[in-house]
Amino acid sequence: MDFNLLIENLTNPALLFFVLGIVAVYLKSDLEIPENSSKFISLYLLFSIGFKGGQELSHEVFDNEIFFSILFGIFLSLVIPLYTFFILKRKLSVFDSGAIAAAYGSVSAVTFVTAVSFLESQNMEMHGHMVAIMALMESPAIIIGLVLISIFSKNKTKSIKKRAVLKHSLTNGSVLLILGSLLIGFLANEEQAQGIKPFTNDLFKGFLAIFLLDMGITSGRKLKSFFAFGWFPFLFALIIPLVNGSLFAILSGVVTSDPANRFIFAILAASASYIAVPAAMKITVPKANPGLYLPMALAVTFPINITIGMPLYFLIVQNF
């Protein structure tokens, strides 16, 4: 591995703010980001990345590469929950396995946003259609997770409220905002977009740093009780993202030769949802333990992706 690239990523201010959040928890500091502020910043990040993606998309010509890239993204969100479910089921309950598999098949919008910032630091830009692919990958993974729980659960009739989860996965706030912002950015002309560019571009990295500080505080709190579940969940959350990201960084070369897009595919495959999926599982599979799948995605997989994962996937797409 190129250690210069790794060091550069580890000294990124946004990442260091994430570490500061974890340190604050272990020092028992009263540092915290108000909940309303945290929610606003997360909405801002989704809006900004969606709008910028829409602007990029408006300059693209829909071709076979975009079509097959969309299919490839949906394929990722369908196949990853399938094999991870059977790995998880060897040690965990069907309900926990299905919820975790759905989380790892789905995507983390914040990891995606951080990956876009990483690309910018390398003077690279992804294509706008990757934003749409990210949003489209939320729902299929949730549905596959629920289908697996339904098939392998003994109490099939009472375990899942299928209609509720389908509606939630399609109208989830983060999915709706990023798709809506993508559409608005696509429809806006250059002159109109220029008017809000200082808000969508210039403030982006500062807001990302504050949001990652909040994520660090949240992760630090979740880790405290996480190890009560033993080493298996921790090792899974540590190893599987790196395997998924590396594997699909290579396979993405089948549908696109653009290294920035391939890097984003690796991030989408490696990341795990800790917003959309936990919210869906809470209302549809109450038997799944949020004290398990939430820390796995947020406190282990998220930091491993933004520290080791990103430089690793970036090197893979440049060399394979």
Q: Which of 94, 80, 197 is nearest to 141 (CA)?
A: 80
pLDDT confidence tier of residue 28, bands split at 50, 70 and 90: very high
Q: Is the pLDDT of residue 115 over 60?
A: yes
Ordered domains of the chain (ranges, CATH): 3-23+38-319 (1.20.1530)
Q: Tell me the pLDDT tens digit for each residue of 121-147.
A: 889 988 888 988 888 887 788 889 888
Whole-number pLDDT of residue 97: 96
Query: Percentage of the chain surpassing pLDDT 70?
Result: 90
Q: Is the pLDDT of residue 102 over 80?
A: yes
Query: Percentage of the chain surpassing pLDDT 90?
Result: 40
The average confidence (pLDDT) of the chain is: 86
Q: Is the pLDDT of residue 14 over 90?
A: no
Least confident of 10-24, 101-115, 302-316: 10-24
Task: Identify the residue with better confidence: 66 or 38.
Answer: 66
pLDDT confidence tier of residue 166, bands split at 50, 70 and 90: low
Q: Is the pLDDT of residue 157 over 50?
A: no
* Across 57-73, average pLDDT: 90
* Across 172-188, average pLDDT: 81
